């Protein structure tokens, strides 16, 4: 029997252990790797080529949204399932556009995760029931009104989002440059573009924005406030 190869990515060890215990009990699922940040998740996916990557959206160094974008672009055969405490429409739309195969709310993930992995492996999309209902309602509304669901055009680029996260985590320009292997001048350029797009021109404001959007968790950025 072909087992579904899975990579787990979550920076909370207890959560990851719980997910691993749940998945290891299944005969058709094999956990081939675990990561505690987005950049490590990308590395493992490229190295191990799993069928499915289960990724938490709020992780240090690189968050789940940007990890998803890079995984779906570089390893399109791996299906990405997102775990999140947030279920607002903006997140779901961004991750769907980024190529995620599914989006699970953490509060109900234990009930849905096994089915989601199997459906993603088959090439199907899977969303937590509450999210799936909202998506159906939006599509129905768009059909009735004759207006397509609008795509946002003001999203940050992948590099800008990486810079925003590292700023919010308290990294200086020199540290960000070293982490991303770019020049300090390029970091400053991206930093300014982020501020202009978001209309936020101080580090404390960027940090609050990153926390509010779930890019980082509140305890990750408190030291910069």
Q: Where are the domains of the chain?
A: 4-142, 158-224
| pLDDT level of residue 110 (50, 70, 90 thresholds) | confident
Q: 207 by DSSP, 3-state: which?
A: helix
Write the class of the CATH domain 4-142. alpha beta
Confidence (pTM): 0.71
- CATH architecture under which domain 158-224 falls: Orthogonal Bundle (1.10)
CA distances from 169 to 26, 32, 184, 187, 198 (A): 37, 29, 17, 15, 17
One DSSP character per residue, 57-126 reads SS-SSS-HHHHHHHHHHH-TTSEEEEEES---HHHHHHHHHHT-SEEEEGGGHHHHHHHHHHHHHTT--E
154 vs 22, which has greater pLDDT?
Answer: 22
Of the listed ranges 52-61, 150-159, 190-199, the least confidently predicted one is 150-159
């Amino acid at each position: 029997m072909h087992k579904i190869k899975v990579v787990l990515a979550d920076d909370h060890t207890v959560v990851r252990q719980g997910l691993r215990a749940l998945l290891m009990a299944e005969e058709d699922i094999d956990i081939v790797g675990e990561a505690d940040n987005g950049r490590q998740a990308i590395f493992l996916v490229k190295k191990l080529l799993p069928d499915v990557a289960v990724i938490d959206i709020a992780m240090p160094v690189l968050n789940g949204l940007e990890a998803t974008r890079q995984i779906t672009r570089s390893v399109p055969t791996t299906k990405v399932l997102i775990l999140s405490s947030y279920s607002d429409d903006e997140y779901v739309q961004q991750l769907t556009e980024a190529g995620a195969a599914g989006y699970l709310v953490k509060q109900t993930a234990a009930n849905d995760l096994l089915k989601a992995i199997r459906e993603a492996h088959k090439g199907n999309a899977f969303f937590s029931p509450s999210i799936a209902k909202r998506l159906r309602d939006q599509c129905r509304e768009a059909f009735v009104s004759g207006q397509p669901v609008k795509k946002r055009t003001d999203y940050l680029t992948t590099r800008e989002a990486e810079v925003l996260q590292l700023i919010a985590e308290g990294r200086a320009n020199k540290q960000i440059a070293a982490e991303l292997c770019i020049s300090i001048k390029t970091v400053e350029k991206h930093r300014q573009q982020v501020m202009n797009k978001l209309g936020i021109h101080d580090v404390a404001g960027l940090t609050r924005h990153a926390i509010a959007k779930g890019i980082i968790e509140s305890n990750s950025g408190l030291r910069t406030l």
